Structure 1
């Protein structure tokens, strides 16, 4: 399974110089999720493709960095490249990401799962935020908001906790 970093770099390598310049300019203004900030203009302008890939991953992590890259490619009119990147990333989607809506809709007993996740996957504050939600559906959605940035090992631990409970 290709890593997000490799997929981002491959997409950037397929851009010509003008497209790469437009990509960097758009990256400065693309809307981001709460909790994320743009790469500073002064830092961004001097980066080559490899360094920009590293910067995207360091600022946004691999999973969200892929989404940001796809969005920027779409915004600069590089739809074919965006689709190619999205398809390549989709081939390596973790089972948890692929079936997340099923988890939201069908997991009934979340507290035993949270017991297994607290301390090793979620910190205490995150556990309390999930438990504070009124309905199981809202609890699962809150958990998913934390999960979007998890690496594969944390997603594996979540899946293991589900299977055990």
Structure 2
């Protein structure tokens, strides 16, 4: 259960922009409630989303870490992510029940023979962080034209860039382009791909 709570926390933190993640950590450090332990600045220094999730669980325990994260997300006005995390945590308490039971396992509805990058479209859009080197390689391998590359790079966030890539070049290039995209992801975002394959 602990590792699943960590995963839910990690995935929610990965949905934040860099600025939102910094604000989340700052709010966590300012948090002061009677009877609750305090998060030490040193504990968060240099931590990525995985490390921050670990700090939450080790500081507040499995039972409280999710609630603390939801409250902190609400405090920094990331309400849509707070709602999703809350639903994910409810699913962990009672797997297989309730209207949101499928949210933690979106791949269960995948069609047989569906390409990996289509099957995990939503997760890839939300979780890819290092998009420029991926786009460089797609341009080198002629999956993208220079015009498409420039249009995608002009988008403000990695999520917007990923959506633009999916709606354009990947749709038109068929399985060949998707195979190349997957091989680039395996090279640059190997931990993410490994995590999706395990899930």
Interval containing the TM-score (normalised by the shorter chain): 0.5 to 0.7
Cα deviation for residue 61 of structure 1 reads 1.4
Structure 2 equivalent of residue 81 of structure 1: 81
Structure 2 equivalent of residue 25 of structure 1: 26
Aligned length: 94
- Is the CA contact 2:43–2:55 (under 8 Å) kept in the aligned structure 1? no
Q: What CA distance in whole angstroms lies between the structure 2 residues aligned with 1:70 and 1:9?
A: 12
Q: RCO greater where, 1 or 2, for CA within 8 Å and sep 6 or more?
A: 1
- SS of equivalent to 1:38: coil
1:73-130: CA deviation from partner (whole Å, max 9, x where unpaired): 00000000000000111122259xxxxxxxxxxxxxxxxxxxxxxxxxxxxxxxxxxx
Cα deviation for residue 13 of structure 1 reads 0.7
Give the TM-score, by structure 1 length.
0.52
- Is the CA contact 2:70–2:85 (under 8 Å) kept in the aligned structure 1? yes
Q: What CA distance in whole angstroms lies between the structure 2 residues aligned with 1:32 and 1:68?
A: 11
Structure 2 equivalent of residue 160 of structure 1: none
Q: Which aligned pairs between 1:1-165 and structure 2 lie closer than 5 A?
A: 3-32=4-33, 34=35, 36-93=36-93
Q: What CA distance in whole angstroms lies between the structure 1 residues aligned with 2:18 and 2:70?
A: 18
Aligned Cα root-mean-square deviation (Å): 2.1
Q: Which runs of 5+ in 2 are unaligned?
A: 96-199
- Is the CA contact 1:5–1:53 (under 8 Å) kept in the aligned structure 2? yes
Cα deviation for residue 3 of structure 1 reads 1.7
Q: What CA distance in whole angstroms lies between the structure 2 residues aligned with 1:45 and 1:32?
A: 22
- Is the CA contact 1:8–1:66 (under 8 Å) kept in the aligned structure 2? yes
Cα deviation for residue 42 of structure 1 reads 2.6
- Is the CA contact 2:24–2:73 (under 8 Å) kept in the aligned structure 1? yes
1:41-73: CA deviation from partner (whole Å, max 9, x where unpaired): 133232111111111111111220000000000
- Is the CA contact 1:4–1:63 (under 8 Å) kept in the aligned structure 2? no
Q: 1:33 to 1:65 in 2, by over 3 A?
A: farther
